[in-house]
């Protein structure tokens, strides 16, 4: 006698739960695997702002704006102790409101508080890049490392563009790899105005609609 046994597959993915989040207009210092900044959110029953350690797929956060969003929240399986228990995916952006009177919370004020390390140039990922820059708001100056040498100069900024001016640097000799990175970086920096934006924890510089330089936030 032949017995046929049917085995029903068990889904390893939990059903997504639709939740509403209020996202605050400024980030807050927090500690995950290392010191970082986190979004601040309120859930349906929140009485005060809570730190949000993970990311939300599809959501582009800009400091200075308060958001009301709908997200799909899915519980993960076999989550490590130091990781978020959920995956979040943007379902709908219900409201994006520019907050007035928060002079320390604009996108540019956020840029000024951090060191920015190069992570992508002309579409190429820069692994362990030595290139970084720091802005001085009071003097309208910028300084950093161009890979081999240090550089410094001025900058002019409008609401959504930035131009670097009169850049100068040291003249140390380097290996061919660093020289190549430095030459490409300085050529871009001296090439005229960039359009810029801040998304999550990256500073992005564009020429037209093309992203040419992407920097990641790093501790000062």
Give the angle subtended at the CA of 162 by the CAs of 161 and 163, to the nearest 5°: 130
**Per-residue pLDDT tens digits for 48-82:** 999 888 889 999 888 888 999 999 999 888 776 65
Query: Please, which pLDDT band fits residue 13 given cuts at 50, 70 and 90?
Result: low
Question: Alpha carbon 183 to chain centroid distance?
Answer: 25
136 has pLDDT over 80: yes
Between CA 108 and CA 154 the distance in angstroms is 16
pLDDT at res. 64: 82
147 has pLDDT over 70: yes
Distances, alpha carbon 39 to alpha carbons 21, 130, 141, 154, in Å: 11, 28, 28, 31
| Residues 155-164: b if buried by 16+ CB within 10 A, e if exposed | bebeeeebeb
Residue 26 β-bridge partners? none
Give the angle subtended at the CA of 215 by the CAs of 213 and 219, to the nearest 5°: 160
If you average pLDDT over residues 154-169, what whole number do you get? Answer: 91
Q: Under 8 Å CB-to-CB from 31, ≥6 apart: which residues?
A: none
Q: Which is nearest to 122 in space by CA: 206, 218, 208?
A: 206
If you average pLDDT over residues 206-213, what whole number do you get? Answer: 92
Query: Please, which pLDDT band fits residue 132 given cuts at 50, 70 and 90?
Result: very high
Give the angle subtended at the CA of 151 by the CAs of 145 and 156, to the nearest 5°: 110
Residue 10 β-bridge partners? none
């Amino acid at each position: 006698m032949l017995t046929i046994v049917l085995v029903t597959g068990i889904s390893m993915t939990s059903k997504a739960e639709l939740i509403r989040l209020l996202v605050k207009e400024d980030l807050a210092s927090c500690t995950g695997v290392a010191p970082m900044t986190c979004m601040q959110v309120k859930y349906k029953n929140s009485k005060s702002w809570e730190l949000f350690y993970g990311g939300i797929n599809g959501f582009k956060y800009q400091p200075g704006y308060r958001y009301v969003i709908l997200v799909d929240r899915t519980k993960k399986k076999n989550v490590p102790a130091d990781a978020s228990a959920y995956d979040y995916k943007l379902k709908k952006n219900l409201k994006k409101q520019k907050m007035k009177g928060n002079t320390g919370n604009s996108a540019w004020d956020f840029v000024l508080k951090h060191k920015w390390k190069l992570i992508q140039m002309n579409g190429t990922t820069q692994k362990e890049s030595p290139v970084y820059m720091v802005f001085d708001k009071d003097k309208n100056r910028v300084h950093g490392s161009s890979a081999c040498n240090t550089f410094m100069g001025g900058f002019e900024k409008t609401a959504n563009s930035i131009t670097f001016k009169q850049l100068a640097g040291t003249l140390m000799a380097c290996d061919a790899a660093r020289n190549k990175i430095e030459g490409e970086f300085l050529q871009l920096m001296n090439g005229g105005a960039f359009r810029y934006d801040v998304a999550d924890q990256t500073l992005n510089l564009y020429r037209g609609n093309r992203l040419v330089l992407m920097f990641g936030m790093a501790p000062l």
